[in-house]
Amino acid sequence: MLNNFVGKDIINIGDMTPDQFQYLLDLSKMLKAEKMTGVDHARFHNKNVVAHFEWESTRTRCAFETSCHDLGLGFTYLSNSHFGNKETVKDSIRVFSEMYDAIVLRAQREEAYVREVADIATIPVINACCEGDHPTQMLADALTMQELLGNLKGRKLAFVGNCATTAMWYGRLCALLGMDFYAVGPDDERYQLCDSFKENIEDLFNKWAPNNEIVLTSDKEKLKGMDVVTTECWIYQNPDVHDEDLAATGDWTSLEYSYDAWLRHSDIMEPYRVTSDLMEDYVKNPDCLVMHMLPAYHNADMKLMQKFLAEAKNERDRRILTEGICISDECFEKHASEIFREAGNRQPTIKACLAAVLGI
């Protein structure tokens, strides 16, 4: 397939056709093989990339920075700048368009903002995660699944736990890959996909995977025979449901560090933790992959979980914090090989995005 991404933005995988998505995966495989065999692929000397991140980042920033180095690209990470503070976003983007060849944006807000930036820019914009999608993460997950499972058509992927937002990203991914998609979580609308998210997934399945299934359920029995199980933290919530307790905790930055935002509904979320018991009792497929985009709060060996332990209001929450929130420590370590392969695949897939928009 020809490269259709030259000069284009990469904002949401739902904008792509299955062939375009597979092109990026094939390019990722080529660049990964070159790296592993010591082939120099610094193809983009005299080109430069600027990155502005509003959200904390480990894997995404590291992958973009090392990818730019390997591809011969200059990389600027903005940390202390006028962007949006003493200078309008529009003016900053116009400056970047004069100096750089691509913009990487991680926005702690809705996808519409990333699209507004892309409309202003005269150079490609790559979405490094916003509330609407995380395209480079979805590419890394897809690459990992193809490496470990081969052909994914007809395979089954389940997002387990808090299905309010991140599950949508995986629904789109399944539509592009021809996989059946299951979202399995509590029978509580706060942790279910909102209508617009469901419609988006259904539209993509109707377009690209009409013979595949979409199953949204609270019934864990539906997990039987899954090929892939993934999950995410409990903090996100259905945007169509107003929760006064959640609203009272403050803005999003406050929510990330709020015990109540994380564990206020631990009683209804606990049955949907990804544990070895859940895998054995419900999935019943010893070859099922367990994946996690990370960071994973699978034990309390980090400052945030230690803070929550000190604030714990009951024994259940103490146990969950110690054993793992959305995924248990023992299950995480049992499946560490695929989880950290998934993390490592952030690099070749991000290389592919950069190379594609710059014109490999």
60 is catalytic: yes
Alpha helix ranges (H) inside 264-335: 266-269, 276-278, 303-311, 315-323, 329-334
Residue-wise pLDDT tens digits, 112-136: 999 999 999 999 999 999 999 999 9
| Range 319-343 average pLDDT | 98
- Residue 246: its pLDDT value, please? 56
Kindly state the tokens that stand for 32.
């990964």
Task: Choose, from 106, 155, 265, 292, the residue flagged as catalytic.
Answer: 106
Q: Please say whether the beta carbons of 28 and 146 come within 8 A.
A: no
38 has a pLDDT exceeding 70: yes
299 has a pLDDT exceeding 70: yes
Q: Please say whether the beta carbons of 138 and 114 come within 8 A.
A: no
- pLDDT band at residue 242, thresholds of 50, 70 and 90? low
Residues 6+ apart with CB under 8 A from 98: none
- For 195-203, the CB contacts below 8 A with 24+ separation are 195/240, 196/240, 197/165, 197/167, 197/168, 197/171, 200/14, 200/168, 200/171, 200/172, 201/168, 201/171, 201/172, 201/175
- Residue 40: its pLDDT value, please? 95
Helical (H) or strand (E) element with 351: helix 346-358
Task: Choose, from 134, 172, 190, 273, the residue flagged as catalytic.
Answer: 134
2 has a pLDDT exceeding 90: no
134 is catalytic: yes
> Cα–Cα distance between 20 and 4 in angstroms, integer?
7
Task: Choose, from 60, 136, 144, 230, the residue flagged as catalytic.
Answer: 60
230 is catalytic: no
Among 83-92, 240-249, 317-326, 327-336, name the one with the lowest average pLDDT.
240-249
> Cα–Cα distance between 325 and 173 in angstroms, integer?
25
94 is catalytic: no
Task: Choose, from 52, 59, 61, 298, the residue flagged as catalytic.
Answer: 59
| Range 322-343 average pLDDT | 98
308 has a pLDDT exceeding 80: yes
86 is catalytic: yes
Fold type of domain 13-134+346-358? Rossmann fold (3.40.50)
Q: Are strands 156-160 and 74-78 parallel, antiparallel or unpaired?
A: unpaired
- Residue 244: its pLDDT value, please? 61
- Residue 255: its pLDDT value, please? 72
Please give the CATH number for the structural domain made up of 136-343.
3.40.50.1370
> Cα–Cα distance between 320 and 327 in angstroms, integer?
9
- pLDDT band at residue 100, thresholds of 50, 70 and 90? very high
- pLDDT band at residue 84, thresholds of 50, 70 and 90? confident
Helical (H) or strand (E) element with 29: helix 18-36
Among 26-35, 72-81, 272-281, name the one with the lowest average pLDDT.
72-81
Q: CATH 3.40.50.1370 occupies which residues in the chain?
A: 13-134+346-358, 136-343
- Residue 273: its pLDDT value, please? 98
- Residue 251: its pLDDT value, please? 54
Q: What percent of the chain has pLDDT over 70?
A: 96
Q: Please say whether the beta carbons of 254 and 309 come within 8 A.
A: no
Q: What does the mean pLDDT of the chain come to?
A: 94
> Cα–Cα distance between 294 and 308 in angstroms, integer?
19
- Residue 247: its pLDDT value, please? 56
